[in-house]
Structure 1
Amino acid sequence: MPTDSRLPRVLHVLLHLDQIDSPVTSQQIGEMLATNPALVRRVMAGLRDAGFVASTKGHGGGWYLLKSLTEISLADVYAALGAPQLFAVGPSSDNPTCLLEKAANKATADALEAARSVFQDELAKMTVAELIAPHAETIKAFQQRSGTSHS
């Protein structure tokens, strides 16, 4: 089963948007993530709906932050992505009237819910801005050497 890497990829994009002074096109984001600009627009729409980003059309247009990364938790971003399923494990439906299958499904569902709760609690503890803190000095040095405002 393929993994869903939207959360770390979107966090990556948000960190770059914070470092860049002008709007970034879906094409540019697509190139950064090695993906299609149409897919970028679809994923970014969830962030727009959550009030984290906006976009402008036309020459010089693109995506930009509406909200400071200090105000956006990782849990907020996860929710804006539609809270993707964490695990490939799911209920059995071989014999839905069997009480033993029902018991097995309930135990599995309870464990999955507990794991989901822990995952979301951990995401809620950190803002997107905090992700950059361990790398702040390296990024600052890079920017000074290259004369850029992004990494």
Structure 2
Amino acid sequence: MKRDSRLSGVLHVLLHMAEQDGPVTSEVLAKAMDTNPVVVRRVMAGLREQGLVRSEKGHGGGWTIARPLDGITLRDIYDALGGPSLLAMGHRTEAPGCLVEQAVNAALGRAFHDAEGLLLARFGEVTLAMLSADFHARMTARPLGRKEIDHG
């Protein structure tokens, strides 16, 4: 199963945006993420629908964060992305006829549900402000060159 890295990518983009004084274009964000501006616009549109970011068209336009960083959790962003699958593991067969496999699915299903619940609860506790503070602490501890920040 392919890994879904959208949450990580969006967090990266949002933290870059938080460092800017004004709107940031899709082109600038795409360069920071080493991707296409169309990909950035598609992902950001979902965040805009949830009220996490705003966009302005025209000269001087771009994307801005719509709420204070302490008012946006990882869970908010995860939900805005459509709640992608959290676990790469799953059942071999969803509706098995075999009683052994039914027992296996029941045990795994409970474990998967519990693990997802814990992860989602933790996502609800972590804010963009916390990630930004961690970034700033890392910069203070080890000053980076601008290039490393822009493309890190």
> Normalized against structure 1, the TM-score is what?
0.83
Residue pair 2:52, 2:65 contacting (<8 A) in 1 also:
yes
- Corresponding residue for residue 126 of structure 2: 126
- Corresponding residue for residue 63 of structure 1: 63
- Corresponding residue for residue 113 of structure 1: 113
The letter of the residue matching 2:111 is: A
Question: CA 1:42/1:135 → structure 2, altered by over 3 Å: closer, same or farther?
Answer: closer
Deviations 1:47-79 (A, max 9, x none): 111101011112221111111111011111111
Q: Following the alignment from structure 1 to structure 2, what is the Cα–Cα distance between the partners of residues 20 and 142?
A: 20
The number of aligned residues is 147
Residue pair 1:15, 1:129 contacting (<8 A) in 2 also:
no
SS at the partner of 1:132?
Answer: helix
The letter of the residue matching 2:4 is: D
The letter of the residue matching 2:28 is: Q
Aligned-pair CA distance for 1:13: 1.2
The letter of the residue matching 1:8 is: S
Residue pair 1:73, 1:124 contacting (<8 A) in 2 also:
yes
* Residue 86 (structure 2) pairs with residue 102 (structure 1): no
Q: Following the alignment from structure 2 to structure 1, what is the Cα–Cα distance between the partners of residues 140 and 55?
A: 27
Aligned-pair CA distance for 1:102: 2.3
How much identity, in percent, do the aligned residues show? 44
Q: Following the alignment from structure 1 to structure 2, what is the Cα–Cα distance between the partners of residues 135 and 19?
A: 10
Query: Structure 1, unaligned stretches of length 5 or more?
Result: none
Question: CA 1:23/1:101 → structure 2, altered by over 3 Å: closer, same or farther?
Answer: same
Aligned-pair CA distance for 1:120: 0.9
Aligned-pair CA distance for 1:42: 1.2
Aligned-pair CA distance for 1:94: 7.9
Large movers: runs of 4+ above 4 Å: 137-143
Question: CA 1:100/1:28 → structure 2, altered by over 3 Å: closer, same or farther?
Answer: same
- Corresponding residue for residue 4 of structure 2: 4
Deviations 1:80-136 (A, max 9, x none): 111211222112228733333222222222111111011111111121111122343
Q: Following the alignment from structure 1 to structure 2, what is the Cα–Cα distance between the partners of residues 125 and 23?
A: 27
Question: CA 1:38/1:102 → structure 2, altered by over 3 Å: closer, same or farther?
Answer: same
Q: Following the alignment from structure 1 to structure 2, what is the Cα–Cα distance between the partners of residues 128 and 17?
A: 11
Tell me how large the CA RMSD over aligned residues is. Answer: 2.7
- Corresponding residue for residue 16 of structure 1: 16
Q: Following the alignment from structure 1 to structure 2, what is the Cα–Cα distance between the partners of residues 95 and 136?
A: 49
Aligned-pair CA distance for 1:2: 2.8
Query: Structure 2, unaligned stretches of length 5 or more?
Result: none
